[in-house]
Structure 1
């Protein structure tokens, strides 16, 4: 009788320890995910969440693409006073359908303003290299898709860039 009470107590303690460890693991994962919610991470995660839909033919890609050439703007300072760095960049915006392209063309000035505002908040290091291009295009896609009603951006291509 004494041994069965000890056995039940040991099992209860093991179950309690298992539950505590499971709760700690779940909390650790939750805190880890919520701690990584800076703007760049959110932009990348949202851009990954955009479904590409059907695969477009080359003719459809050409039909649903809008170009924005030579946007020139200053970049944010890199910590040592006023910035004298600027960027000149051209884009190709691939939309999912013809109505999306029409919306984008009607909102061209608003879309250009979004590009300029986004670039003005970035430093030269943030727009350099593949990682910088990915961050820029992800941020633009998130902000621009909020403005479009009849279609969404599928891809943003940087077709020309000069960083000075």
Structure 2
């Protein structure tokens, strides 16, 4: 009697495994046929159609959300070189701009001076140096902002001596 129960249990388990594998195989084939039925051009069209277009901000909105910092003059690291530089910070929204303006005199300018003081002339020189500086500033200033983030930083004037 004990052997019959074990035999029935084993057969039941094998039938369950067979049914699960059959269902998985059928589902796999069904999914594969659906993905192959569309050619790449149709798939690309579908992908483009599903993307919601975003409206580019107007020039007035960009100007309203941009903060200007002019003529920061500081020494560079490890030499007698100095830099005089100006920036334009584009922020996500007006709340971020207001918050940025309130931090401008203390935290933002202090972060800029500290970052420039840690850099050498070779690190700032050229377009790669400008990109390095703006990305470093963005990474240091964005955590200070709670109402939004900096979208873009432009160097509007740079004199490296």
Question: Does structure 1 residue 134 correspond to structure 2 residue 135?
Answer: no
Change (3 A) 1:54 1:74: farther
5+ residue gaps, structure 2, are 1-53
1:3 aligns with none
Distance 2:88 2:145 in 1: 16
Question: Does structure 1 residue 92 correspond to structure 2 residue 93?
Answer: no
Q: Which runs of 4+ in 1 moved over 4 A?
A: none
Question: Does structure 1 residue 145 correspond to structure 2 residue 150?
Answer: no
Deviation (angstroms), 1:54 = 6.0
SS at match of 1:113: helix
C-alpha deviations, 1:73-109, integer Å up to 9, x for none? Answer: 00011xxxxx210000000000010000000000002
Structure 1 length-normalised TM: 0.64
Structure 2 length-normalised TM: 0.65
Change (3 A) 1:58 1:97: same
Q: In angstroms, what is the RMSD of aligned CA positions? A: 1.1
Residue correspondence of structure 1 range 35-114 to structure 2 within 5 A: 55-77=56-78, 83-109=79-105, 110-114=107-111
SS at match of 2:62: helix
Matched residues, number? 107
